[in-house]
Amino acid sequence: MTKDWPRPVVHFEIVARDPERLRSFYSELFNWDISEGGFMSFDAGLGGPEPGPGGHLGKGDAGGVVLYIQVRDLAESLERAKRLGGEVTAEPFQFPDTPTLAGIVDPEGNRFVLVQQ
């Protein structure tokens, strides 16, 4: 029997109590073009680093999903996130031979990691 292929992540959903507020937050923070209405869709980002997205599992106090999103300027993105109502949860840090990372939460508490290659 041939080993089956790994399945890629092809979509994600951000659940919000106030979708309009988060629409504004993500549109301004990540330059995402998010549609209006009851189902606010947006296209996947283009031009991410090769070989493409990967993932990992980690131990934590609560379950959930954390998205890692590439930004050009980490310091500017952290300041923008704060201005838009987000909160910095981890100042920039780096493991050996890895990109620089920083943690934020959006105005409703969803966790994200910003990645500067």
Q: Is the pLDDT of residue 47 over 70?
A: no
Domain count across the chain: 1
Determine the pLDDT at residue 29: 93
What average pLDDT does the segment 89-110 reach?
94
Answer whether 0.75 is exceeded by the pTM. Answer: yes
Q: What is the mean pLDDT of residues 79-83?
A: 97
Q: Which of 66, 47, 61 lies closest to 9, judged by CA?
A: 66
Q: Identify the CATH number of the domain in which residue 70 sits.
A: 3.10.180.10
Task: Indicate whether 32 belongs to any domain.
Answer: yes
Range of the domain at 96: 19-46+65-116
pLDDT for 49: 67
Residue 41 lies in a domain: yes
**Structural domain includes residue 112:** yes
Residue 109 covered by a domain: yes
Q: What is the pLDDT of residue 22?
A: 93
Q: What is the pLDDT averaged over residues 28-42?
A: 88
Q: Is residue 8 a part of any domain in this protein?
A: no
